[in-house]
Amino acid sequence: MIEADAKRSIIRMFHVHHNYGTKKALIDITLDILKNDFVFLTGPSGAGKTTLLRLLYLAEPVSEGQVLIDGMNLSRVPRQRIPLLRRKFGIIFQDYKLIANRTVFDNVSLVLEAAGKKRRLIQKRVNGVLRLVSMEDRQAAFPPSLSGGEQQRVAVARAIVGDPKIILADEPTGSLDDDSSESIMKLLHGVHIRGATVIIATHDKTLIRKTGGRVLNLRQGRLEGSSIIEKHYDNSIF
Amino acid sequence: MIILFFKRALEDFRNNRLLNFITLLTISLSILIVSTFILFFINTSDMMNFWKKGLRIMVYMKPDIAPSEMPDVGRQIKSLEGVRSVRFISKEAALRQLKSQMKRQTSLFENLDKNPLPDAFETQLNANFQRWEKLEALATQIEALDAVQEVEYGQQWLGRFNQIFHLFTLAGYTMCGIFFMAAVFIVANTIRLVIYSRRDEIEIMRLVGAAEHFIKIPFYFQGLIQGAAGAGIGLAILFTVYWYMASNIEPGSFSGLIAIRFLSVPMVGVIILLSMLVGWFGSYISLKQYLKV
Ligand SMILES: Nc1ncnc2c1ncn2[C@@H]1O[C@H](COP(=O)(O)OP(=O)(O)O)[C@@H](O)[C@H]1O
Ligand SMILES: [Mg+2]
């Protein structure tokens, strides 16, 4: 199956291990994620979900095994090309990672500035995504003055503004109330519809049941299998 | 892009006001001291050159030397190494000159029954002999001539001044060096603290795919701006002091002979560039040390 889908794969891992000192965080992970997949990475807290995501954008080095992202072998990415790799991703961090002393607008525009986009384009794109996440009225606000749900929406805006091929979301609904969670999931589903590959790390089983998608199950650093969960939830929210 | 980097750099100034104020103060002070030295150096060497150009040895004859022997003595002096020209000044000519210089006090001369002045030779030196030590050696040689009563050259203080001047030059260079290092160190330290205060932001920028130069350039801008602003302030203070002093020196005194001048425009340019280099270098050191990938 892996061979047959090689062309359609966007992320592939072969026998990947990862240790923090003596702690084995990931053990022999082999997986294949297809273009425009909508994947949940699940498992209890401490299973290695965050670690797996961090490997993909080289926040952790690949020390054992192989990781291929969109044709790039991560073991062979020279340091100065890491930024290019990271621009393939839109990342929603578990702790949002918004810059406290920059406005909402500046937090989002940073991605495009770093990619060297023109000012006019940046203005247009940022306004567009802020409208999409319903944060256009708060664009001059600073992140600490926002609620958790609002911060997360800014984080989503920043993740999608560069039109990345892959969206990584680490516990995107972790600390949010149901309404906020729902709006975040709607947004993620939206970018999936428009062609992005979406990977969501979560320990929240009900979230998966509500949304449906492919599920990769991690347990104590090992991949315990994958399954497809059908959405059994009313379609009206999408 | 440039505008963006500039904006970021200015933001950092705003966010770290005290730190940047102290840095600016240090750079200004360094520039002030260094350029004060340069100003002093330029004007003193001007003065030294002016005096050196006028360096000559006055050779006074013994009173019993007959006028007919004078050309011979003149030739003897002329033949010494380093002498460019010799001009005979007879005692009559000297007295005439003295009288014309002291017109108001002619009464002083009325009762003179005898010319008290000696015959003399005014000896001009070759350009390469206008160093103090050579001048001294030549004067000794001339003094050893039989017909010579006394030589008078320069002023004693000029020789001492020469030494002090050299000492000042040395001290000046040392001071420039020290302040250069101090300024680099202070800038490096400021940038280090700014990097520290922005470490989360830098981390985030990296995670969203910012290249290293994108992260670093604003810091270089900060260093350059600090350097330029510091130089501007330092030079402005120096100019104010200079201007105040220049306009308060009484006209007619020695300032009439030698114009005291401020640093030339290219010189000011060089100082500003150098100061910016200091800022850049300080940033460079910090970035190299604290912004490892
Ligand atoms: N920086 C780290 N240093 C040491 N151990 C770590 C580090 N990050 C994670 N771990 C450990 O690795 C394991 C997997 O962690 P993580 O990937 O964060 O799990 P999850 O995201 O599924 O909760 C956990 O046991 C955690 O304690
Ligand atoms: Mg986690």
Which pLDDT band holds residue A20 (cuts at 50, 70, 90)? very high
Neighbours of ion ligand 2 (CB under 5 A): A 50
Task: Summarize pLDDT for B190-211 with one digit per residue, the tens.
Answer: 888 888 888 898 999 999 999 9
In the predicted model, what is the mean pLDDT of chain B? Answer: 82
Q: How do A197-202 and A222-229 pair as beta strands?
A: unpaired
Q: Which domain holds residue B98?
A: 56-152
pLDDT for A8 beyond 70 = yes
Domain endpoint, select from B152, B184, B199 = B152
pTM, entire model: 0.74
Same domain for B136 and B190, yes or no, is no
In angstroms, the first-to-last Cα distance of chain B is: 22
Which residue of B16, B208, B212 to mutate against A (max A Cβ within 10 Å)?
A: B208
User: Domain A34-58+82-237 adopts which CATH fold?
Assistant: Rossmann fold (3.40.50)
Note the ipTM here: 0.89
Domain endpoint, select from B152, B181, B215 = B152
Q: What is the pLDDT of residue A1?
A: 44
Task: Summarize pLDDT for B47-64 with one digit per residue, the tens.
Answer: 776 666 666 788 888 888
Which pLDDT band holds residue B145 (cuts at 50, 70, 90)? confident
What is the SS3 assignment for B102?
coil
User: Mutation test of ligand 1: which of A41, A51, A202, A204 has the most ligand atoms closer than 8 Å to its C-beta?
Assistant: A51
pLDDT for B261 beyond 90 = no
Q: What is the pLDDT of residue B259?
A: 61
pLDDT for A29 beyond 90 = yes
In a domain, residue B266? The reply is yes
CA quadruple B18, B24, B29, B30: dihedral sign: positive
CA dist., res. B199 & res. B258, Å (int): 57
Q: How do A38-42 and A197-202 pair as beta strands?
A: parallel
Least Cα distance to B36 among B28, B48, B47, B24 occurs for: B28
Q: What is the pLDDT of residue A237?
A: 45
In a domain, residue B79? The reply is yes
Would you state the structure tokens that stand for residue A177, as one six-digit string? 């109330």
Q: How many Å separate Cα A199 from the centre of its chain?
A: 5
Ligand nearest to the CA of A174: 2
pLDDT for A167 beyond 50 = yes
CA dist., res. A199 & res. A166, Å (int): 8
Task: Summarize pLDDT for B79-137 with one digit per residue, the tens.
Answer: 888 888 888 888 888 888 877 777 766 666 677 777 888 888 888 877 666 666 777 78
Same domain for B208 and B280, yes or no, is yes
Please report, for chain A, how many H helices and E strands are present, in that order.
Answer: 7, 10
A72 touches B at CB < 8 Å: no
Same domain for B127 and B260, yes or no, is no
Same domain for B74 and B210, yes or no, is no
Q: What is the pLDDT of residue A236?
A: 45
pLDDT for B256 beyond 50 = no
The CATH code of the domain that includes B132 is 3.30.70.3040
In the predicted model, what is the mean pLDDT of chain A? Answer: 90
In a domain, residue B157? The reply is no
Same domain for B95 and B130, yes or no, is yes
pLDDT for A137 beyond 50 = yes
CB A221 within 8 A of CB A47: yes
CA quadruple A192, A193, A194, A195: dihedral sign: positive
- Total domains, chain B: 2
Closest CA in chain B for residue A117: B1
Same domain for B63 and B47, yes or no, is no
Q: Which residue among A82, A85, A97 sits closest to B204, beta carbon to beta carbon?
A: A97
Q: What is the pLDDT of residue B154?
A: 65
Please report, for chain B, how many H helices and E strands are present, in that order.
Answer: 10, 4
